[in-house]
Amino acid sequence: MKLSVYALPTLVPPGSQGPAVVIDVLRATSVMVTALAHGAAAITAVEEIEDARSLAASYPTDSVLLGGERQALPIPGFDLSNSPREYTPEKVKDKHIILTTTNGTRALASLAGIEPLFIGAFLNASAVAKTLAALGQDAMLVCAGTRGRFTLDDISCAGLIAAQLSRLIPNLELDDLAYTAYFLYQSHAQNIKHLVSHAQHFSYLQSIGLEADINYCLQVDALDLVPKVQEGTVVLQHLK
């Protein structure tokens, strides 16, 4: 089994096949994992704000929530921001969430057609590794990045998943970036926040008062579930 890591969705070769995992730690994939853990029925990720509003209008009002951000800030008129701490059971249980973010939802759109496609974060890293190990196929981890640029937070999470998968698959083959991510994570495993604190997006979120979101998103294995993209909608993948 071979594990490949891509620093950005645009670097995934055309025609690539799954299994694949999308990672946008700060904060879109952390939101998706949290929302489904707290009982959300499903999540549909869209690229544009108006597309989100139009899609939400096609659902019964009491069954849908709008969530997302621009510049990491709440979108006017939306029910939720891109803070995973807002996606509580009281708010999201049985709701269909329409989500639009700057990076994560665009990454999902760029990988449309790849199957199976899973959602990964620090929060569910072990569950993701177990899922990939059970499939036993060559797999890839795709980092969302920030505005088309490499991000330290996403690659650190990819390194954690690579490390956990290596323990489950002793002869796992790592491509160059997978090995780099693995080594980076292993070198900082005792203080992952210190490593990620050097990320520009970390600094930006901190500057606008969202350090509590950062702390939440950097929790390792807080949730034992794996969201999966099915026909453009993110739903809960039940572990076997």
Per CATH, the homologous superfamily of domain 2-231 is ComB-like (3.90.1560.10)
Express each pLDDT in 40-86 by its tens digit.
999 999 999 999 999 999 999 999 999 999 999 999 999 999 999 99
Q: Which long-range contacts (CB under 8 A, 24 or more apart) does 175-184 make?
A: 175/2, 175/3, 175/4, 175/5, 177/4, 177/5, 177/6, 177/7, 178/3, 178/4, 178/5, 178/141, 180/5, 180/155, 181/5, 181/141, 181/155, 181/156, 183/159, 184/155, 184/156, 184/159
Sole residue written with tokens 């990076």: 103
pLDDT of residue 87: 98
Please provide residue 167's backbone torsions phi and psi, each rounded to the nearest 5 degrees. -75, -30
Express each pLDDT in 34-48 by its tens digit. Answer: 999 999 999 999 999
pTM, whole model, 2 decimals? Answer: 0.96
